[in-house]
Amino acid sequence: MAKAKLSEVEEAAQLVYALLQPTPARLSPGLSKSAGAHIWLKHENELPTGAFKVRGGLVYLSKLLATGTVTGVCAATRGNHGLSVAFAAARHDLPAVIVVPNGNSPEKNSAIEALGARLIQVGDDYDESVRYAQQLAQDEGLHLVPSFHEDLVLGVATYALEFLNAVPDMQRIYVPVGLGSGICGVLRAKEALDHEVEIIGVVSDQFQTYPLSLEAGHPVVTHPGFSIADGLSVRTASREVLSELNRGVSRVIAVSDAAILGAMGMMMRELDQHVEGAGAAGLAGALSESDRHSPQDVIGVVISGGNVSSALMTQAMNQ
């Protein structure tokens, strides 16, 4: 993908702001003390769908409908991508079918259905749901919204544009990596602003698809696993995302479920914020690299989502 122009990200922002407000960027004294640096948080968990991906869905569908007629949309998801597609489809009075794997978060499933989408549970993991969604879209004449696309990236790049403008002296930013649009959006904003911020991706140590792919020099498929951070549970690396990571990301680090639970509990105690596993991975990553920080460092942490079950939140609080 080509380097984004500032005008392109700003145009995407106007599409987002037609329905949504910018999310807060806040300095946390308590988390800063724990990390040994100034920790700024980008609260994407405060969006109507509880996650950053809604920005991409709005931009993608706006651009899609500007080019032709669409009778309905379909997407595979573990939650937040599906919420994004369902939210955007509802705003355009389009039917939406969202495919999730068996055992998916009941809370995320209910939220998707509340937006008016038809929910189908199929497959043992996300990869199997993708295959089903592809066939369903073909059979029913639906537009399949991919998990990664330039318009999705431009949409989510708007949060990074807000963050870097709000905290212009940011030196490092920790970004959860699942399907890849979030971290690629941060790279777009960095390039558009000609900013020098260092980008660090954070994955679950149970799904090290991208670290292994970077090491191998090509996309790899990892074995099935389990993580409380369902948004990071990605087994198949995208060639496009891998290329983007190689182009502009400093490194991708892995954190454990225990570290993620700890970060979730800290944000609840310090900020009174319910944050999902993937949303807490950035803070877990920043804390894991505290030996790299100095008290003067300015560090950004992306809270990518807050769609967490009460049971998991209770578990995090007991850490």
> Interhelix angle for 53-67 vs 150-166, to 10°?
130
Alpha-carbon gap, residue 41 to 8, rounded angstroms:
25
Residue 154: is its pLDDT beyond 80? Answer: yes
How confident is the model over 204-226, as pLDDT tens digits?
Answer: 999 999 999 999 999 999 988 89
Phi, psi of 52 (to 5 degrees): -65, -25
Here the tokens at position 227 are 């993580």
Residues in the chain: 319
How confident is the model over 8-60, as pLDDT tens digits?
Answer: 999 999 999 999 999 999 999 999 999 999 999 999 999 999 999 999 999 99
Q: How many helices (H) and strands (E) does the chain have?
A: 13, 10
pLDDT band at 311 (very low <50, low <70, confident <90, very high): confident
How confident is the model over 52-101, as pLDDT tens digits?
Answer: 999 999 999 999 999 888 999 999 998 899 999 999 999 999 999 999 99
Q: What is the mean pLDDT of the chain?
A: 95
Angle at 130 between CA 285 and CA 311, to 5 degrees: 50
The full set of domains in the chain, from first to last, is: 6-51+150-317 (3.40.50.1100), 53-144 (3.40.50.1100)
How confident is the model over 251-306, as pLDDT tens digits?
Answer: 999 999 999 999 999 999 999 999 999 999 999 999 999 999 999 999 999 999 99
